[in-house]
Amino acid sequence: MVFDTASTGSMHALAAARELVAPEARENGTPPGLVMYTSEQSHSSIEKGAIAIGIGQKNVRKVPVDTEFRMRPDALAAMVERDVAAGLRPFCAVATVGTTSTTSVDPVAKIADITDQHGMWLHVDSAYAGPTAIMPEYRWIFDGIERAHSLVVNPHKWLMTNIDLSCFYTRRPDILRRAFSLVPEYLKNQEDPRAVNLMDYGVPLGHRFRALKFWFVLRYFGRERLAASLREHIALAQKLVGEIRKDDRFEISAPTPFSTVCFRYKGTDEQNMAILETVNQSHRFYISQTKLNGKTVLRIAIGNLGTTWADVHDCWQLIQSLAK
């Protein structure tokens, strides 16, 4: 189904995960002892979802990442086992395919081995990178995805669709329905039993027809042209990485599997922030920052249909001029 945002979709995934493991929560409220896991690089919406459904921030375990910012399955397994031994109830793990800071890809299949073993729900957040799976050469990002219980992908992030539209997939709609269906007298009607009533699968009662605009995008471009556009963005990012590597005042801070480039001026955090502020105040480009291994890192994300190498190159030249 379709939600407004990935944040809303992931919150619904967590509610379904709780329903699977602790169905008494619907009646009695969230019981103590439920714990969930996500990497320290996951998006804040995961923790926010846990806050919203009453899991509590301290019951969201942040699993360490490897040198390429991917969740470490060995660390996840150890944390789950420690919690089980302590009498707690692990109920969910959230893997990220394309993290926000660096676009790293968590090893979904290895994480699924652990969640299967412990009867946990596996949710995959692929809000940013998910659209690349339309290209055969990027299908690998979803290796193991058939073992996930739910998945979010955002056409409004990187598939030419205006905000808001986030796709939510689940192979356990029955559990989602069990978590959310509540039909008062005034909503009972003689509907066709084959009809799927979306009010049974989440918080919203009324739904606007978001899928229509996405249908137009798919019809207008077609898969080949959408794929060509994503390939172009990825190629621009790889070319930019090549340019950055030629300037030894800068360094690349993370692998670039998609179209987001993480790099930094080899100076202080303050100098990097000063570059960012000047670039953004130019009102020609908008770049962002993150912290990796304790250092401020600059990020250039390429994902607009109209972006060309001239734009990317101009932005890089401005950054170079500020490093002087």
- The CA radius of gyration of the chain, in Å to the nearest whole number, is 21
Q: Please name which of 1, 49, 9 lies closest in space to residue 209, comparing C-alpha atoms.
A: 1
Q: Please name which of 121, 157, 133 lies closest in space to residue 10, comparing C-alpha atoms.
A: 121
| The two three-digit tokens of residue 199, written as one number | 């009010």
Q: Closest separation between CB of residue 23 and ligand PLP, Å? A: 27
- List the one residue from 41, 154, 161, 272 that touches ligand PLP (CB under 6 A): 154
The 113-142 site mask, x for binding ligand PLP (CB under 6 A), equals ------------x-xx--------------
Q: Closest separation between CB of residue 88 and ligand PLP, Å? A: 26
Give whichever of 138 and 316 is closer to ligand PLP, judged by the CB atom.
138
User: CA 247 to CA 322: how far, in whole Å?
Assistant: 13
Query: Site residues for ligand PLP, window 285-324 (CB under 6 A)?
Result: none
Burial (CB count <10 Å: 0-12, 13-18, 19+), residue 317: exposed
Give whichever of 42 and 319 is closer to ligand PLP, judged by the CB atom.
42
How far are the Cα atoms of 4, 72, 79, 165, 294 from residue 76, in angstroms, in the given order? 30, 6, 5, 31, 22
* Residue 32 backbone phi and psi in degrees, to 5: -70, 155
Give whichever of 90 and 98 is closer to ligand PLP, judged by the CB atom.
98
Query: Site residues for ligand PLP, window 156-195 (CB under 6 A)?
Result: 157, 166
Q: Closest separation between CB of residue 318 and ligand PLP, Å? A: 25
Q: Closest separation between CB of residue 195 and ligand PLP, Å? A: 27
Residue in the block written with tokens 């019951």 = 59
Identity at 108, one-letter amino acid code? V
Query: Site residues for ligand PLP, window 22-61 (CB under 6 A)?
Result: 43, 45
Query: Site residues for ligand PLP, window 86-115 (CB under 6 A)?
Result: 96, 98-100
Q: Is 214 in the site for ligand PLP (CB under 6 A)?
A: no
User: CA 180 to CA 194: how far, in whole Å?
Assistant: 19
Give whichever of 66 and 81 is closer to ligand PLP, judged by the CB atom.
66
Give whichever of 132 and 275 is closer to ligand PLP, judged by the CB atom.
132
Give whichever of 42 and 296 is closer to ligand PLP, judged by the CB atom.
42
User: CA 96 to CA 37: how far, in whole Å?
Assistant: 11
User: CA 157 to CA 129: how far, in whole Å?
Assistant: 9
**Which residues are near ligand PLP by CB under 6 A?**
5-7, 43, 45, 96, 98-100, 125, 127-128, 154, 157, 166
